[in-house]
Structure 1
Amino acid sequence: MERTTEKDSLYNNLEKMSVLEILQNINKEDQTVPLAVAKVLPQIEALATITADKMKQGGRLFYIGAGTSGRLGVVDASECLPTFGVPFDMVVGLIAGGDGAIRAAVEFAEDNAEQAWLDLGKYQINEKDVLVGIAASGTTPYVIGGLRKANENNVTTGCIVCNGGSPVAAVSQYPVEVITGPEFLTGSTRMKAGTAQKLVLNMLSTSVMIQLGKVKGNKMVDMQLSNSKLIDRGTHMVMQETGLSEEIAADLLKKHGSVRKAVESYKFD
């Protein structure tokens, strides 16, 4: 396969550019990423639809990846709990090398094709669940091995990759292939490819949670009230839905612990 993410940058002599020139050229390349994502919206739709269907039946969403891709999966999974108030194990992100690899690279962890399935086994992954492999290159053994074993065990599989015709896509039932092309800094897939993966993950998890009823109107009615900013946001959401004063809305929110429950308690009292 041709790995366009590894092709030589369209720019050269980067060290001779002014800071402004560097920034302008990075920005120019970044602007191509949303356009690449737009081309694969039907692929994202298919993955988001099957994921929501599975989760409505009690399934979970798992992400596996290595390096930047793994970290992005962990970030998206960890943000679902506070944003949508779901159980901590409903969306799970796993990275090659374990949680320590989130901060520091673990040598050759991504080359172990057996480890992903062992990592997933700790969560008793099963046919109700969905596994999404994230790999900019589309060639990561850790991800390929995990997806292959998932297929063998009737687990629904998908992927987010940034090269066409990759081995990762070949072993995925619902592949998302965002072709981002050469990086500004040759081979540095934390840049455009990473941005594309982040955009797709935002779209996937948000659209799934909307399908699961975790959003009302355009509000995060089940968000965790884990700091003062979110409590204030929640209070104003309750005020907007009920017409109550700020003080009464705040008391109602504190009593019930979520915007949804506070509003429902008011409407059904």
Structure 2
Amino acid sequence: MGLSWAHVLGDAFSAVEFMNMLGQAVARYGLGQPTGLVHSHTKATTPNSPQKVIDDPLSIKRVGPVGDHWVNVTKCKMEAFSFNVTPTQLSHLQSKLSPNGTQFGAFEALSAVIWQCIAKIRGEKWDSNVVTICKGSEQSKTCDGNLSNSQVVSVVKANFPILDVNPSELASLVQNWALDEREKIEEAMERDGGLPDFIIYGAKLTFVNLEDARFYEFEYRGQRPVSVSYKIEGVGEEGAVLVLPGPKGDGEGRSVMAILPENEINELKLELKREGLMA
């Protein structure tokens, strides 16, 4: 069973809740109050923030008009591939990145290693020092029946060469130094009257944290999913990496979906094998 929808309307967490409520409706469970479509409260609470932003935020990119298709057309062909990271592989990776006792989550550890792997592939021609981080907001975790586009969009900047640093430094940046850009994005939309088209996924290399999405709570006529995948179309040339819960019965493993220029896929697979994340 699948669902296709536009991220203009809602984020991945709302898509998951929609599917879960669909299963409940088919089973004729009581759904309570009608689902609300709420306005996305994207304004951040950063004190003394500037009222006007001259440049576009780092996390978004202007693209040509997409019209009614709502999908960006890229200059190169993008390809998606997925792989599963077992609990053993993940535990080994986290231990390797935590020599001094610093604990990194699965998302932070995977993002750091894949960030560096992609930097190795693209070399010095690529500005690898800025990436975008997307994750669910506290609002998206309440499961209160409101569907919205309320995920947090942040950027992480590194002031050192990505290729030469220990991946634990990158994991620390992702975990502790992500700068929320929601307010800047909203100001950019208001400044241009909402007329131009922008992309977030792939404007910069984008890591999407879907660990908390309730994919495996979907039930349809007594059946629950064994494996769930999530893919984004129209990703920009910088690419996107999605981290999801692992297949049912896989314990604390993760499923990773990478969407990148097709000429980078084989090289990334080789780098991931060297890191012990692929067989």
TM range (shorter): under 0.3
Length-normalised TM-score, structure 1:
0.25
**Higher relative contact order, structure no. (Cα contacts within 8 Å, ≥ 6 residues apart):** 2
Compare the two structures and name the one with the higher strand fraction: 2
Larger Rg: 1
Length-normalised TM-score, structure 2:
0.24
Compare the two structures and name the one with the higher helix fraction: 1
